[in-house]
Chains A and B, each alone.
Chain A
Amino acid sequence: MATTPTGRGTSTLVGANDEVLQVTASPVTARVKLAAAPAAALAAAAPAAAERLYLNVEGVRGNSPSGVLSVRVVAPGIPDAEINETLVFFGLGKASSTDGSHAGNGLSSTVEITDKVAAMQARAGAAIQELEVSLVQPEGASSEITVDRISIYRLRVR
């Protein structure tokens, strides 16, 4: 399996949404299909190894100097189990400028969701095939924020 070596282990992409999201004061939802059941993968991990799951909000761009996104993650059909996070992006405007030191690639943020997904899995009693991720600007939208992609990576810690 192709993996990306990191300083602490190897990360592997297990899912991503299909299109760019335009986030305003109204929630926008994306479906992230998972290539392999993450909880099953966690269960199959060797005792010495630990696997973690991360939600990656990639390529966040906007004109404002900074931006805030509220993230809500649910598994379709599994009630009372959700992940809520607030992500702050300082330097958003500069990172979005193609003439700046980020080459216009924007910012990204990563949230660990291992235990929440495991809880969803336990509640569902079956492997999770898809996650639904909603994004909104909680403090109102002075300007639009775009998100290139929402992905889920699995990190196997050495």
Chain B
Amino acid sequence: MSRLAAFAVQTGRGAMPWLVALSVGSYLLLGFAQPASNVAALCGRLNVAQSVFLPAPNLQFSQILQAVAADWILMVVAMMAPLVAANLSYVGRVVHASQKVAASIAFLLGYLCVWILSGLLLVPLAFVLALTGAWIDLSLAFGVAVVWSMSPLAQWARNRCHGTSRMAAFGQEAQADGCWFGLRTGAACVFACWPWMLVPLQVETGHIAVMVLTGLYLFADRIAPPAAPVWRLPPALETVLGVSLLPGGRGANRHSLRHTKPLASTSQPVRTRR
């Protein structure tokens, strides 16, 4: 079974259905709320030069900031929610049942917190990029994103997205560890994905569609296995094509769900001693 097929099966398991629902809900909110409120009013207009200064002249500056913040948060939730399925599954597995919900929420809050803060840099950067003009801004953003995906630095960050963190099983320690794990994963995720977030912000027509495509690309990128940080073709291609594209790769890269272990990274067979 190819990696993509394996993950297609897993979409019906664990937290994935909830994360997909959260993602779809955020996409819909971004799409349908646009005509009625400030939410998403800015996102698709960033490549119109005038909107850089005042997208809606009758709005106060604080209202504009609120709208941008709401847009950014919805955009992050929509695009990133499915990417944390494996991390969230890990949290649910290693804490006691009584702490599963609280630790998962703590993880998500930590993760989201880093992404929200990253908006303080990325949204102004998108505004600046928009000033270069239509198509130039999009080409620039897309080119930087593709080259970044191929770079050793991005692979270094993706490896850390796959990393786990020791977590306490009980009490407030489990929640604190969940939050810390979320912060760590969020920081790695921002580092791995940041240029891709600029791409949808440069598109006015079909903005949501580009967001969906970028989100799918990042998901395919994320489910590629960890690897040595070297220059390489984007791992998303490896996921889609089902072959190893690493230098010195060995062709078909397939695995079976039968090899999935019930507990984290179990490398040894279960040994019985009675």
Contact = CB atoms under 8 A, between A and B. Distances in A.
Interface of A: 1-8, 11-16, 18, 20, 33, 35, 54, 56, 58-59, 83, 85, 87-91, 95, 98-116, 148-149, 151, 153, 155
A91 B92 contact: no
B96 A35 contact: yes
Nearest to B270: A110
B94 to A, nearest CB: 7
B274 interface: yes
10 shortest interchain CB distances as A-B pairs: A6-B262, A16-B169, A103-B162, A103-B226, A2-B97, A109-B268, A148-B166, A115-B274, A107-B267, A2-B100
Interface string B211-242: 00000000000000111110000000000000
B257 to A, nearest CB: 8
A116 B273 CA distance: 8
Contact of B263 (A2, A115, A148, A153): A153
A43 to B, nearest CB: 18
A3 B97 contact: yes
B194 interface: no
Contacts, number: 128
B265 A106 contact: yes
Contact of B266 (A12, A14, A88, A109): A109
A interface SS class: strand
B159 interface: yes
A56 B266 CA distance: 9
A109 B156 CA distance: 27
A85 B268 CA distance: 13
Contacts of A35: 96, 98, 169-170
A23 B207 CA distance: 54
Interface of B, secondary structure class, is: loop
A111 B272 CA distance: 6
B271 A116 contact: no
A41 to B, nearest CB: 13
A3 B92 CA distance: 9
Nearest to B89: A4
A51 to B, nearest CB: 15
A99 B263 CA distance: 22
Contact of B273 (A33, A95, A112): A112
Given A2-B92, A15-B169, A56-B263, A99 B273 contact: no
Contacts of B94: 13, 16, 58, 149, 151
A101 B225 contact: yes
Given A35-B96, A98-B160, A105 B262 contact: no
Most chain A CB inside 10 Å of its own CB: which residue of B163, B166, B167, B170: B166
A18 B156 CA distance: 30
Contacts of A3: 97
A4 B159 contact: no
A7 B260 CA distance: 9
A155 B274 CA distance: 17
